Structure 1
Amino acid sequence: MNTSEFDIDCELKSAFFENAYSPFVILNRDMNFVDINKAGVDTIGISKENFLGKNLLDIFPYLEGTERYDAYKNVIDTGVAIGFDELLFKGEFSEIIFMSKAFKIGDYLGITTLDVTNVIDTVQKLKSTKTSLIEVNENLKKKNQELEDFSFVAAHDLRAPLTNLKSLMRMALESDITFNEVMPIVEKMNVVTKVMCDKITALNMVIATKANFGASKTTLEFSEVVGKLKTNYSKEIIEGRTIIKEDYSACPSINYNKVQLEGVLQTLMSNALLYRHPKRKLSIKIETKDVNGRVQLSFKDNGLGFEQEFSDKIFALFKRLHTHVDGLGVSLYIMKTIIDENGGTIDVSSQVNKGTEFKIIF
């Protein structure tokens, strides 16, 4: 190569170095900067005059004593290039995530970098999107299963009274009986019809509750919600000679949908009053606690109670453990649905003739 070709080659390399999109720097064995291109100056935010001659640790003091600093020095000694991924550079006005490669140039160390901030952000967004899609898919599976279970229970519980009604109707139409003889059949038909209407009413209640999910929330005081219930159930409270103890000092309020919270507490209050023990005064204790930053509500009574083995079954649709009072067997199902939909949990412990305690984490 003649002198002219050598000069052109040097000029091309110099032009490439200076105008490269990515930052380039060159250091000597003492880790002092010998050269830096325009992209490097723009990225670091220090003028070239104030940069050259400075030591690497003067500009990046946090590298002192690190494996990366030792690795850079080792490149000059061994000539073996090394690369680093996802390094963080904190500039005056921004933070940059970059990849770095260090290599030997004669007796010097060359370091080139590539800004991958946007790439990393995109990857993180894709991961987040994937996670969101997985959550949505799981939620859809859950909803579909709930819908299947709901449809099965609804069809099963309506089929029996409908079959009975059809049989009774056929008996009334096909039998050659007198008016007085047909009346018992008509009365049975009336009972069966009422059962069907009650179950349809219950199903409508469930549908209405589910339709209210996603409604706005507001700050509610437990004492005010329970106070309203005590007024509404004043007759039953007096009849049961009920003693109600309340302690909301740990968590006096909660951010929740008003209709849903009232529905949960109404179910607890109503069941305690309905299933009170006939041989003693009804005692109800309502208390709130802070459990790992979440509100826990405890609702305990000394009523009839039930066998603990049935604790999971009491939340099933149309499931009733006590039949001596009227009921649709739907209130506890709706209550648990509300709590689950809001990301909460509910546990129940009970003993026959001793009472029941519900613990709800909202």
Structure 2
Amino acid sequence: MVNNSIDEINNDIKSAFFENAHSPFVILDGDMNFVGVNHAGVKTLGINKENFIGKNLLDIFPYLEGTKRYDAYKKVIETGVPIGFDELLFKGANVEFKFMVRAFKIGEYLGVSTLDVTSLVETIAKLKSTQTSLEEVNQNLQRKNQELKDFSYVAAHDLRAPLTNLKSLLEMVLTADPGSTEIYPVVEKMQVVTKVMCDKIRALNQVISIKSNFSEYTEEMVFADVIGKIKLSHSQEIIEGRTIIKEDFSSCPSIEYNPVQLESILQNLMSNALKYRHHNRKLSIRISTKKVNEKTILTFKDNGLGFDQNLSNKIFLLFKRMHTHVEGLGIGLYIMNSIVSENGGKIEVSSKKNKGTEFRIQL
């Protein structure tokens, strides 16, 4: 009599735990039919209890048919060895949960207990996202610090030479006979050196201005319109050189981009192509755009002077010039590369000396 009372109390306790568990808990028979479900299970599944008991597991979760998980449940009943699953996804009416699941044998039945880890998984995902963002910020800071070091070095190096030259020329002027005609060539050289210094300082100011005022503002830009504007600004050179320009924007006619930055990219490409044309043949320029993996690819190809492909990793350096027979400071490609990099893009260059150059730019 006492033992029966204790069994009844134990059963009542077990029933209370089962029914009031915070997470869903179900019991299935050997044929995978539901014979028990607690309140949390009914609430999560969104099915009335009386319409739930007696239903087969595949009636409620048809996508489990033929899966390893379904076979694993059957095996638990056969062997009595419990199993566990992490982050199982359940989609209910307008809700989505992620559970840790434990399946085990209860007498001749299968018990399945769950733990709702939706919030935990979301928190972990946010932490991972935050970590990724911090890593990206750190990488950007390292990149900018390296750019600053490179910029400082190049600026100091390229200004040191004309300053030294100017100092030597000034000493020659100060030690020369004021009435001597030899002083005039020296003064002329001083003027040339001074101009070089002023040009480079203006170029440095331009680079600093672009880098410090980088705008994230964008609008839809039509490639044909931008190229049309650039061709108009170079119309005299294009006409005099009988330049052939072929455009194909059919695959990707427009892009969301900063107007000033996109124009600067195309302006530098066009200016370089015209400046470094091969004078033994007509200049031919091909410009096209296309989408590759949701990225806009701009291709700009010419048949100009080109350069040694082994030097392709140097063409974007500040004040670096591949050809010195025409005027230039070597900042155009540096600025273009800075703009593309700041927008998360990249540039690939292929070139052959006296054959031409192709820029492939992921904007």
Using the TM superposition, give the Cα deviation of residue 175 of structure 1 relative to its aligned residue in structure 2, in angstroms: 5.1
SS in 1 for 2:285: strand
Q: Deviations over 1:319-339 (max 9, x none)?
A: 122222211111121122222
Using the TM superposition, give the Cα deviation of residue 179 of structure 1 relative to its aligned residue in structure 2, in angstroms: 6.4
| Identical aligned residues as a percent | 67
How does the TM-score come out when normalised to structure 2? Answer: 0.89
Which residue does the alignment assign to 1:128? Answer: 129
Please provide the CA RMSD for this pair: 2.4
Seen in structure 2, the aligned counterparts of structure 1 residues 324 and 116 have a Cα distance that, compared at 3 Å, is same
Using the TM superposition, give the Cα deviation of residue 342 of structure 1 relative to its aligned residue in structure 2, in angstroms: 2.2
Please list, as runs of the form range in 1=range in 2, the aligned pairs for 1:1-362 lying within 5 A after superposition. Answer: 2-173=3-174, 177-178=178-179, 180-362=181-363
SS in 2 for 1:68: helix
Seen in structure 2, the aligned counterparts of structure 1 residues 309 and 21 have a Cα distance that, compared at 3 Å, is closer
SS in 1 for 2:315: helix
Counterpart-to-counterpart distance in 1, 2:203 and 2:305: 24
Seen in structure 2, the aligned counterparts of structure 1 residues 307 and 87 have a Cα distance that, compared at 3 Å, is closer
Using the TM superposition, give the Cα deviation of residue 293 of structure 1 relative to its aligned residue in structure 2, in angstroms: 4.1
CA contact under 8 A between 1:240 and 1:276: conserved in structure 2?
Answer: no
Counterpart-to-counterpart distance in 2, 1:178 and 1:72: 108
Using the TM superposition, give the Cα deviation of residue 202 of structure 1 relative to its aligned residue in structure 2, in angstroms: 1.0
Counterpart-to-counterpart distance in 1, 2:345 and 2:13: 67
Counterpart-to-counterpart distance in 1, 2:227 and 2:81: 74
CA contact under 8 A between 1:25 and 1:110: conserved in structure 2?
Answer: yes
SS in 1 for 2:348: strand
CA contact under 8 A between 1:220 and 1:254: conserved in structure 2?
Answer: yes
Counterpart-to-counterpart distance in 1, 2:22 and 2:308: 74
Q: Deviations over 1:176-208 (max 9, x none)?
A: 543644443333222222111111111112112
Larger mean CA deviation between 265-274 and 58-67 belongs to 58-67
Q: Deviations over 1:3-45 (max 9, x none)?
A: 4444333322222222121222223333333322211111111
Q: Deviations over 1:279-299 (max 9, x none)?
A: 444333333344444333333
Gaps of 5+ in 1: none
Gaps of 5+ in 2: none
Q: Deviations over 1:228-272 (max 9, x none)?
A: 122222222233233333333332222221111111111122222
Counterpart-to-counterpart distance in 2, 1:152 and 1:261: 28
Q: Deviations over 1:137-173 (max 9, x none)?
A: 2222222211111111111101111222233334434
Seen in structure 2, the aligned counterparts of structure 1 residues 43 and 352 have a Cα distance that, compared at 3 Å, is closer
Counterpart-to-counterpart distance in 1, 2:354 and 2:66: 71
Counterpart-to-counterpart distance in 2, 1:76 and 1:280: 83
Aligned length, in residue pairs? 362
Using the TM superposition, give the Cα deviation of residue 115 of structure 1 relative to its aligned residue in structure 2, in angstroms: 0.9
How does the TM-score come out when normalised to structure 1? Answer: 0.90
Counterpart-to-counterpart distance in 1, 2:68 and 2:291: 45
Counterpart-to-counterpart distance in 2, 1:339 and 1:84: 46
Counterpart-to-counterpart distance in 2, 1:177 and 1:112: 102
